[in-house]
Structure 1
Amino acid sequence: MRFLSRRLVMPNDLNFAGSLFGGRILEWIDEEAYIFAACQLDHKSLVTKHIGAIAFETSAYQGDVVEFGLEVKAVGVTSITVTCVVRNKQTKQTICVADDIVFVHIDPETRTPQPHGKTKPQLDATPIVAP
């Protein structure tokens, strides 16, 4: 799993207890997973179909830098399934794991599922280039 993206926890990201709001981290996960899936498939017409198990393991606080690790779990004809791990950049402690995030490639005009033309072996063989 490669950790390629980071975010700084800001005051507006906190809940009433002073830790990172769960809804905010889920928003970030959906966005980061979409970017990763769209780059893997080289298509931007993707929609989130499903997010499976989500496990919150530790908290993050204002000023923490969190990083997102993503990997392809499975590839279907019209879909891609990814896993996302969010961890504290400094301590490497896992904050949250979101498993089975499924995106479906759709036709931008008809909004119906369309084959994306990629396979898992193809994606596994493609190197991820860090910025």
Structure 2
Amino acid sequence: MRFHTRKWVKPEDLNPNGTLFGGKLLAWLDEELALYSIIQLENTKVVTKYMSEINFKSSARQGDIIELGIDVIKFGITSLTLKCEARNMMTRETIITIDHTTMVNLGSDGKPKAHGKTEIEFVKDRLQQ
């Protein structure tokens, strides 16, 4: 799994128990999945269609640094299926996993549109062409 982004847990990210609010972490992951999909599919019109079971394995506290990781499971005709994980950067302890998230590529009409991608591409490789 490639870990792309780091987030610092701040006081405004905490729930009444003093741990990272799950909704905040899910928002971070959803944004990271969207950005990853936008870059892979080369289209800013991408939406989250589906998220499988969300598995909270541990928590995080103020001051922790969280890493967000993503792996591609498959390229569909109009979609990209990903799995993701958030972990504590210092301890490497997994905080949350989501096994399947489907992101859908949209056309200018807002309907699913074929993207023509079949494998992971890195921006650095696109720039060399």
* TM-score exceeds 0.5: yes
Please name the residue that 2:33 is paired with.
Answer: 33
Structural mapping, 1:1-131, within 5 Å: 1-108=1-108, 110-119=109-118, 122-123=119-120, 126-127=121-122
The one-letter amino acid paired with 1:39 is I
- 3-state DSSP of counterpart to 1:12: helix
Please give the per-residue CA displacement for 1:30-76, whole angstroms capped at 9, x wherever unaligned. 00111111111121110110111210000000000000110101111
Number of aligned residues: 124
Q: Which ranges of 4 or more aligned residues in structure 1 deviate by more than 2 Å? A: 126-129
CA shift at 1:20, angstroms?
0.3
Distance 1:128 1:57 in 2: 33
Return the TM-score normalized by structure 2.
0.91
The percent of aligned pairs where both chains have the same amino acid is 41
Unaligned runs of at least 5 residues, structure 1 = none
Which sits farther off after the overlay, 41-50 or 83-92?
Answer: 41-50
Distance 1:113 1:4 in 2: 26
Unaligned runs of at least 5 residues, structure 2 = 125-129
